[in-house]
Amino acid sequence: MSSLATRLSERFAAVTGGVDPELRPATKPQFGHFQCNIAMRLAKQEGAKPRDIAQRIVDEIRVDDLCEPLEIAGPGFINIRLKNSVLAEEANRLATDPAHGVPQDPHARRTIVDYSSPNVAKQMHVGHLRSTIIGDCFTRVLRATGSTVKPQNHIGDWGTQFGQLVEQILEEGTDVSALDLAGAEALYKRASAHFKADEDFADRARRRVVALQAGDEQTLGIWHQLIDVSLAGFNATYERMNILLTDDDLAGESTYNQALPKVVEDLKAMGLAVEDDGALVVWVEGFDAPMIVQKRDGGYGYDATDLAALRHRVDDLGAERIIYVTDARQAQHFAMVFAVARRAGWLPDSVSAEHIGFGMVLGADGKPFKTRDGSAVTLSSLLDAAEEIAAPPIALAAIKYADLSNGLNKDYVFDAERMVQTTGDTGPYLQYAHARTCAVMREAEAKGLSLDTTVTVLDDPTEQALALQLSRFGEAVVEVATTLQPHKLCTYLYELAQHYSAFYQQCPILKSEGAVRDSRLGLCRAVRTVLATGLDMLGIEALERM
Ligand code: ARG
């Protein structure tokens, strides 16, 4: 079912020759619920008086089932007030079926979301925190609007660093299976220091890379162990963070090893890849440097791997929309990958590819968040920091909401104290609003009242405003699905919580009686459902008590 605003827009379009009325929330309550300036726009085109056009629209449009009589104001604004009965009906439907308000995208596409994608033998850091939270939110929202979403966790499980790692392990006689991820990372640091300091070791490490590529059994065995140790660490984090990713979504860089030679061959055959100082490169218009698809030593890198991955996603996974979530610094990489893939015909125009870049997480000093020794802050230490001040589900809500509620490309300051507050624009505030609706319902139940009541009375302005806000849930969700800007849903939910709070202060619920009490309980129930559903789309747990 489409949202009220969509239904209204369609009615306008029916009498304006299909022109989008661009309904806006009314700027003041006395103007009704929505305002529309379509008459002004049409008047310009037609050279007529805006008020005349507005009058014509009002005469022709059939909306009396949804609205009070339309009003024309000022130079030709059309003011729209929904009927209380319609708002009540919306709230009642939402109370039992939150999906009711969320229009299903008729063009919902088969979508790949490439996110999280940490690197083997390294702990996840703040950048992966953002990718994981944002990508997970996209997956949830797109699924809710009818898309089939296949997440892809493009972990860094291949590359020359494995030569150093395996060589270091053999030299130390390390039992890899006994390591945890932190232990593996410590080993990584020893290996790269060793590589820099000892030419002999460096040679062995390079030969070890060749052995790995040639499929040497012992080398592959250790490589596998490193992956297992890392995955155990990643999965523990996903579980701790309530992230949807599973082993089914794993498609690390090594997945594409077999496909790389063909990628380069095909690019060569098409004349796209050319030799440049022993390497094979593709020049892309608008970029200062070419993309290197094969290095001088014959190795392939990050770019070629992403080309192979993209081809696989389109050809084998049937992707129609591909979304990559990484920090903004990779924007250029993806722009080039998309450009080359388009020219090679691997990314047809019918398939969209979007890189959603995000800003950095900053420390209290406004500088990129680093540990005292200057290394990247691990994701676990962030979670620990927040959990020092709040219970785990609240700490997690705090972190996720802080991450999602700002424009994605902005940097934000990791301020655990502020994020966990239950007042202000925070995740815990929304959890708290939800818990308050649950408390009202519990109290009603304890009094022996029926919880299965419906909204029938919307006399108080705060009740009306709340019902109107409820009816806009679907719009907010669809907006996130289209624009991939989760902060729109955060803002919607924050405003819903504020409307609920105003209503709660203004309108006694359990102290009122009869139909009014039933109706207010009905509103409460609808708010509870919408908050829980919306929070779930952000990956945040809706707690019943706090
Ligand atoms: N492993 C990379 C990193 O940690 C992110 C990979 C993103 N996905 C991709 N298809 N390149 O920065």
**Per-residue CA distances from 511 to 461, 486, 504, 521 (Å):** 19, 38, 12, 11
- 117 CA distance to ligand 1 centroid (A)? 5
Of the candidates 264, 224, 231, the residue with the CA atom closest to the CA atom of residue 118: 231
Per-residue three-class SS string for 35-81: EECHHHHHHHHHCCCHHHHHHHHHHHCCCCCCECCCEEECCCEEEEC
Ligand 1 atom closest to the Cα of residue 306 is 10
Backbone angles phi, psi at 173, to 5 degrees: 65, 35
Which amino acid is present at 167? E
Give residue ranges with CB within 6 A of ligand 1: 114, 117-119, 154, 156, 306, 309, 324, 326
User: Tell me: the pLDDT tens digits for 321-338?
Assistant: 999 999 999 999 999 999
Ligand 1 atom closest to the Cα of residue 327 is 12
- 80 CA distance to ligand 1 centroid (A)? 48
- 135 CA distance to ligand 1 centroid (A)? 12
- 118 CA distance to ligand 1 centroid (A)? 7
Q: Which residue's structure tokens are 């959990």? A: 387
**Per-residue CA distances from 67 to 25, 58, 427, 510 (Å):** 14, 12, 35, 30
Cα(232)–Cα(430) distance, integer angstroms: 32
Residue nearest to atom 6 of ligand 1 (CA): 117
Would you state the pLDDT for residue 294?
97
- 212 CA distance to ligand 1 centroid (A)? 22
Would you state the pLDDT for residue 1?
45
Would you state the pLDDT for residue 314?
98
Q: Which of 158, 234, 291, 330 to mutate to test the pocket of ligand 1 (most atoms within 8 A of CB)?
A: 330
Ligand 1 atom closest to the Cα of residue 156 is 1
Task: Please compute, for residue 493, the number of CA atoms within 13 A of its CA located in the half-sphere on the CB side.
Answer: 33
User: Tell me: the pLDDT tens digits for 160-202?
Assistant: 999 999 999 999 999 999 999 999 999 999 999 999 999 999 9
- Whether 2 has a pLDDT exceeding 70, the answer reads no
User: Tell me: the pLDDT tens digits for 369-396?
Assistant: 887 777 778 888 889 999 999 999 999 9
Find the mean pLDDT for residues 439-462.
Answer: 96
**Cα dihedral: 380, 381, 384, 385 (round 10):** -140
Q: Which of 154, 250, 324, 334 to mutate to test the pocket of ligand 1 (most atoms within 8 A of CB)?
A: 154
- 74 CA distance to ligand 1 centroid (A)? 54
Q: Which of 112, 114, 117 to mutate to test the pocket of ligand 1 (most atoms within 8 A of CB)?
A: 117
Residue nearest to atom 9 of ligand 1 (CA): 154
- 352 CA distance to ligand 1 centroid (A)? 19
Would you state the pLDDT for residue 103?
81
Q: Which residue's structure tokens are 């009220």? A: 4
- Whether 365 has a pLDDT exceeding 50, the answer reads yes
Ligand 1 atom closest to the Cα of residue 333 is 11
- Angle formed by the axes of helices 514-537 and 84-96, nearest 10°: 60
Q: Please name each of the domains of the chain with its CATH number.
A: 3-82 (3.30.1360.70), 110-155+250-361 (3.40.50.620), 161-243 (no CATH), 423-537 (1.10.730.10)
- 376 CA distance to ligand 1 centroid (A)? 16
Would you state the pLDDT for residue 102?
86
- 356 CA distance to ligand 1 centroid (A)? 12
Residue nearest to atom 5 of ligand 1 (CA): 117
Find the mean pLDDT for residues 433-447.
Answer: 98
Residue nearest to atom 4 of ligand 1 (CA): 118
Strand partners, 323: 113, 354
- 338 CA distance to ligand 1 centroid (A)? 15
- 399 CA distance to ligand 1 centroid (A)? 22
- 122 CA distance to ligand 1 centroid (A)? 13
Residue nearest to atom 7 of ligand 1 (CA): 117
Neighbours of 274 (CB within 10 A): 13
Cα(293)–Cα(306) distance, integer angstroms: 10
Q: Which of 305, 326, 334, 337 to mutate to test the pocket of ligand 1 (most atoms within 8 A of CB)?
A: 326
Cα(492)–Cα(398) distance, integer angstroms: 17
- 275 CA distance to ligand 1 centroid (A)? 26
Of the candidates 321, 406, 397, 400, the residue with the CA atom closest to the CA atom of residue 358: 406
User: Tell me: the pLDDT tens digits for 95-109?
Assistant: 998 888 788 888 889
Residue nearest to atom 8 of ligand 1 (CA): 154
Out of 29-33, 222-226, 461-465, the most confident range is 222-226
